[in-house]
């Protein structure tokens, strides 16, 4: 067997950067295979492989859409079964990518074997190699039945997986052929009892024809021989098959042995058997291609379905955001209610504790007021005694002090009698009181008013009186 080139050496055209993660899924009959690739060192590397039956669930944490897809979207790419897939190879002039899409779109109605409303299509530009003129480029148009694509999407949705792209595995392997690709390349694949075979015709390094053949079983190879004969005649008539081609069978095991023998007998010469790419390598090629598809270009995923997926994802993000916000609000509300109840409970306990303290405080205030009043009374009493002592000590012997009145702690009223000839003694007495001081050396009276006189007993006696404003700033409380 001739070894095949490693997939890492396959050159890809300049395109958008690869995604951070890509999942490739194969649902073929009752079998299922899942590959997960992660971006590392500028290329996708295989991170996980799972195989099982079609009923097995997919790893939800890797295929489901989450908040992280808003800033780091992952790709879910599914392989379309080769049934009802058609290919057309076109030689188109070199032009901008947008112009190329428009030119192919104008021809797609003629290229499709089915009504356009029943199909979806995409295109691939084959890397230039061989003797293709520089002003020409080879384009492969892939046309698939819409019903087949929708059935596949329905199965994926049932598994909780939303597809971001649809690819055909056999086409990825055919376009990743080695540089010396001249000849006919057969890519058979067993699918239960049926056998699907992709046939690629290369001449001088240029892809000239690409067809998909489905046989009822591996024993019905007459249909394949008839197809190869018709394709050979068509190539000779079109002028691109100018010499007998070499034949390459990309298969292994029993399939390679049976098909190699039958095709060799039909050709009359041995056929070269080439080992196919491992499925993981084909999945890697698929992931790289899907990750670099330019936005706005036609794909096998219908645009209305991809739009619906996008709207559903945005709606789910809004719903999750709302649900998360509602849960946070409810948690905060419950926490607030619980905290409020705890505060109320503590406040009630403190109130119960403060009731006796309030009573004691009221009693203390009342006692304090009583103490202040008593201290004021004591102060006033002492002040009155000091004033009375001073007044009585300073009174002249010629005067008679008949009445001493202490009014509201502010005034002292003195009344008495004296002979009419002793009026000057009364004046001296008032002057003495003006200069009288207390125990700390301050004036005892703030002001001493002049005396008032009334003659009594026929004018021989005087009745006198005067008022003193008491100074008591030191004793005020």
pLDDT at 402 over 50: yes
Domains of the chain are: 383-475 (3.30.980)
Top pLDDT among 456 and 76 is at 76
Q: 9: pLDDT confidence band, cut at 50, 70 and 90?
A: very low
Spatial neighbors of 122 by CB under 8 A, at least 6 apart, are 141, 142, 297, 298, 299, 300
Top pLDDT among 282 and 418 is at 282
DSSP states along 4-49: PPPGGG----S-SPPPSEEEEEEEETTEEEEEEEEEETTEEEEEEE
Top pLDDT among 15 and 447 is at 447
pLDDT at 300 over 90: yes
pTM of the predicted model, to two decimals?
0.67
The per-residue pLDDT for range 161-172, each reduced to its tens digit, is 999 999 999 999
pLDDT at 387 over 50: yes
pLDDT at 193 over 70: yes
Return the axis-axis angle of helices 222-238 and 253-267, rounded to nearest 10°.
60
pLDDT at 149 over 80: yes
> Which pLDDT belongs to residue 11?
42
The per-residue pLDDT for range 261-275, each reduced to its tens digit, is 888 888 888 888 998
| Mean pLDDT taken over the chain | 83
The per-residue pLDDT for range 241-263, each reduced to its tens digit, is 888 888 999 998 888 888 888 88
Say what percent of the chain tops pLDDT 70. Answer: 94
What does the pLDDT average to over 102-126? Answer: 91
Q: What is the pairing mode between strands 194-203 and 183-191? A: antiparallel
Top pLDDT among 440 and 306 is at 306
pLDDT at 179 over 90: no
Q: 431: pLDDT confidence band, cut at 50, 70 and 90?
A: confident
> Which pLDDT belongs to residue 14?
54
Length of the chain: 477
């Amino acid at each position: 067997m001739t070894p095949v080139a490693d997939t890492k050496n396959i050159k890809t055209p300049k395109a958008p950067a690869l995604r951070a993660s890509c999942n490739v899924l194969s649902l073929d009959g009752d079998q299922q295979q899942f590959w997960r690739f992660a971006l590392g060192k500028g290329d996708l590397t295989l991170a996980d492989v799972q195989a099982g039956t079609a009923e097995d669930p997919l790893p939800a944490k890797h295929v489901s859409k989450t908040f992280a897809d808003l800033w780091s979207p992952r790709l879910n790419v599914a392989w379309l079964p080769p049934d009802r897939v058609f290919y057309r190879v076109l030689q188109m002039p070199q032009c901008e990518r947008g112009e190329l899409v428009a030119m192919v779109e104008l021809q797609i109605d003629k290229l499709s074997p089915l009504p356009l409303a029943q199909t979806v299509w995409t295109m691939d530009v084959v890397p230039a190699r061989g003797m293709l003129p520089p002003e020409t480029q080879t384009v492969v148009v892939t046309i698939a039945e819409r019903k087949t694509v929708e059935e596949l999407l329905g199965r994926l949705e049932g598994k909780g997986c939303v597809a971001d792209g649809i690819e055909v595995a056999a086409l990825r392997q055919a376009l990743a052929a080695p540089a010396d690709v001249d000849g006919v390349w057969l890519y058979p694949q067993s699918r239960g009892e049926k056998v699907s075979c992709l046939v690629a015709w290369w001449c001088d390094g240029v892809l000239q024809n690409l067809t998909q053949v489905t046989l009822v079983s591996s024993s019905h190879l007459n249909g394949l021989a008839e197809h190869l004969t018709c394709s050979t005649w068509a190539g000779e008539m079109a002028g691109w098959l100018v010499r007998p081609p070499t034949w390459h069978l990309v298969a292994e095991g029993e399939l390679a042995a049976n098909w190699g023998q039958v095709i060799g007998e039909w050709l009359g010469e041995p056929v070269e058997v080439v080992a196919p790419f491992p499925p993981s390598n084909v999945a890697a090629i698929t992931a790289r291609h899907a990750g670099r598809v330019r936005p706005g270009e036609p794909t096998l995923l219908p645009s209305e379905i991809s739009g619906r997926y996008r709207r559903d994802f945005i709606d789910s993000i809004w719903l999750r955001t709302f649900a998360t916000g509602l849960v946070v609000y409810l948690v905060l509300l419950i926490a607030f209610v619980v905290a409020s109840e705890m505060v109320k409970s503590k406040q009630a306990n403190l109130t119960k504790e403060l009731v006796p303290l309030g009573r004691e405080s009221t009693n203390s205030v009342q006692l304090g007021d009583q103490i202040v009043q008593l201290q004021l009374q004591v102060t006033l009493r002492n002040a009155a005694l000091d004033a009375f002592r001073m007044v009585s000590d300073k009174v002249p012997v010629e005067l008679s002090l008949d009445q001493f009145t202490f009014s509201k702690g502010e005034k002292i009223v003195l009344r008495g009698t004296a002979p009419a000839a002793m009026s000057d003694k009364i004046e001296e007495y008032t002057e003495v009181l003006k200069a009288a001081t207390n125990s700390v050396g301050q004036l005892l009276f703030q002001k001493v008013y002049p005396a008032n006189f009334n003659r009594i007993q026929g004018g021989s006696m005087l009745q006198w009186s005067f008022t003193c404003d008491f100074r008591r700033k030191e004793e005020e409380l």
